[in-house]
Amino acid sequence: MNYIFGPVPSRRLGLSLGIDPTAVSGPFNDDRRADSKVCNWNCAYCQLGRTRCFTTARASYYPPEAMLEELRETLATDSARNIDWITFVGSGEPTLSSDLGTMIRGVKSMTDIPVAVLTNGSLFSDIRVREDLMSADAVLPTLDAGTEELYRRINRPHPNYNFERIIRGMIAFRARYSGKLWIECMLIAGVNDDEASLHDIAAAMKRVAPDEIHLVLPDRPPAEPWVKPADEDGILRARTILGGVARTVYPAEVEFERGAIQDPLEAAAAIIARHPMSNEELARSLSLWGVSDTETAIRMFAESGRGISVERHGKTFWRAP
């Protein structure tokens, strides 16, 4: 499987089958891996690490038909019976794919499973992007700051972007979109969880008027080691200031599934390229997938170069090399 991964546990979407619309090298003339992160931001908290391919250009990364064929195969497996959502996410910013609208409509024609798109929202100022997203059942953009200064500190965007442009793009999208608009706000200790920062974020959220605000924490290894999750006081402060539509979204306790990929180590590699796993999650998943000696399998996984281990608050996680 090149474009489909999971199903994986999602904080907000139950068991989610992932589609990566920027999964291959596409138009880029370099030697980057197919699972390299392609994005127009370089967020300090990103669980995929620092951005490898920093771009603002929309492009076609692979023929949509190739992904739809993989989806047909996946939906025919036993694991498809438990899928709650089909989610466009993966190794970077989904809206950088100029085929995103075609892909969403193709998925909708194939199944009744609802479709979600996880995006940073940076391209909502482009009417073509807004049109591409109209068929999705839920769109989940990011808003971690309420000022230009904090936006640049946390999200570290390409210089072409500025905070006001992003807010206006979200407002334009909200004006026409009839699906669920759920905005994610990553709470970082000592950065955006203080009263002043949260009031700025609340003012920006009010302009966009999302259906829900999802407060999330950087629980997996971030791109920068100084990123720490807000404590309970910070979470309570955020919920109070952001109001009744805000809710805290804690990590899901759901088993990973390998979908249509038969080789357990290949399935694990496909997942961690887009969704890092703790060592416990990896061992539990391998066991679920029929591996009897998970300790040996994890050692082989590391030796093969499919994944690297990272320590976070005394806990081991696995992510793509």
* 245-258 pLDDT per residue, tens: 898 886 555 456 66
% pLDDT > 90, the chain: 59
| In a domain? residue 254 | yes
- Is the same domain home to 216 and 282? no
- Is the same domain home to 9 and 120? yes
Asked which of 260, 280, 308 is the last residue of a domain, the reply is 260
Segment 301-318 mean pLDDT: 78
Identity (one letter) of the amino acid at 90? G
- Contact indicator for 109, 34 with CB cutoff of 8 Å: no
| In a domain? residue 295 | yes
278-304 pLDDT per residue, tens: 787 778 778 877 888 888 888 888 888
- Is the same domain home to 213 and 299? no
Tokens 């100084």, located at residue: 226
Q: Residue 169: is its pLDDT beyond 50? A: yes
Provide the domain count of the chain: 2
Tokens 């989940």, located at residue: 140
- Is the same domain home to 303 and 166? no
Three-class secondary structure of residue 196 per DSSP? helix
Between 232 and 174, the more confident residue is 174
Tokens of 163: 């905070």
Three-class secondary structure of residue 278 per DSSP? strand
Instruction: Find which of 35-44, 201-210, 231-240 is predicted with most confidence, using mean pLDDT.
Output: 201-210
- Is the same domain home to 233 and 291? no
Q: Which domain holds residue 237?
A: 4-260
Domain CATH number, residue 318: 1.10.10.10
Q: Residue 26: is its pLDDT beyond 80? A: no
Taking the C-alpha atoms of residue 36 and residue 274, their distance in angstroms, rounded to an integer, is: 9
- Is the same domain home to 301 and 155? no
Asked which of 237, 260, 283 is the last residue of a domain, the reply is 260
Q: Residue 25: is its pLDDT beyond 50? A: no
> 3-class secondary structure for 183-206?
EEEECECCCCCCHHHHHHHHHHHH
Domain CATH number, residue 102: 3.20.20.70
Q: Residue 29: is its pLDDT beyond 70? A: no
| In a domain? residue 266 | no
| In a domain? residue 267 | no
Identity (one letter) of the amino acid at 9? P
- Is the same domain home to 169 and 226? yes
| In a domain? residue 142 | yes
> Could you report how far apart the first and last alpha carbons of the chain are, in Å?
18
Three-class secondary structure of residue 5 per DSSP? strand
Asked which of 209, 232, 260 is the last residue of a domain, the reply is 260
Summary mean pLDDT of the chain: 88
- Is the same domain home to 48 and 183? yes
Four-point Cα dihedral 60, 66, 67, 72, nearest 10: 160
| In a domain? residue 65 | yes
| In a domain? residue 9 | yes
185-196 pLDDT per residue, tens: 999 999 999 999
- Is the same domain home to 53 and 99? yes
Q: What is the pLDDT confidence band of residue 78, given thresholds at 50, 70 and 90?
A: confident
- Is the same domain home to 109 and 236? yes
- Is the same domain home to 229 and 308? no
Segment 199-226 mean pLDDT: 94
Taking the C-alpha atoms of residue 125 and residue 227, their distance in angstroms, rounded to an integer, is: 29
Between 304 and 90, the more confident residue is 304
Tokens of 32: 């980057």
| In a domain? residue 138 | yes
* Cis peptide preceding 7, ω within 30 of 0: yes
pLDDT at residue number 211: 96
- Contact indicator for 271, 8 with CB cutoff of 8 Å: yes
- Is the same domain home to 287 and 186? no
What does the chain come to in residues?
A: 321
